[in-house]
Amino acid sequence: MNGEGARKEKGAMSNDMGIHDSTGNVFEEMGMRDAEERLARAELARFSMNRLERLLNALDLEIRIQVGPRPSHKAHAGITVETVDSF
């Protein structure tokens, strides 16, 4: 397929999706119940994380975030915070 055909295909796909301006609430756009509450919680979590990062950096502490698969012995993924003497 040449480059022109690929562009036409993408354009067709975009039209099928009904591109529109965002309301600013992705939860509402996805039709989820309690969309306003979900957005508020997401914003609070982001604010709290940014605030924690700034505080720890102000205390001259290094922050490292590691992400990995859920251990097989755990039913649900979780979050663990550990302090270390050095990296």
* Three-state helix/strand/coil letters over the chain: CCHHHHHHHHHHHHHHHCCCCCCCCHHHHCCCCCHHHHHHHHHHHHHHHHHHHHHHHHCCCCCCCCCCCCCCCCCCCCCCCCCCCCC
Asked if the structure places residue 27 within a domain, the reply is: yes
The whole-number pLDDT of residue 34 equals 94
Print the domain residue range for 37: 22-70
Asked if the structure places residue 86 within a domain, the reply is: no
What is the percentage of the chain residues whose pLDDT exceeds 90? 47
Span 2-46, pLDDT tens digits: 554 444 444 444 445 678 788 899 999 999 999 999 999 999 888
Asked if the structure places residue 9 within a domain, the reply is: no
Asked if the structure places residue 46 within a domain, the reply is: yes
Does the pTM surpass 0.85? The reply is no
pLDDT band at residue 87, thresholds of 50, 70 and 90? confident
Asked if the structure places residue 50 within a domain, the reply is: yes
Give me the number of domains the chain comprises.
1
Span 53-86, pLDDT tens digits: 999 999 999 999 889 999 999 999 998 888 888 8
- Alpha carbon 69 to its chain's center: 16
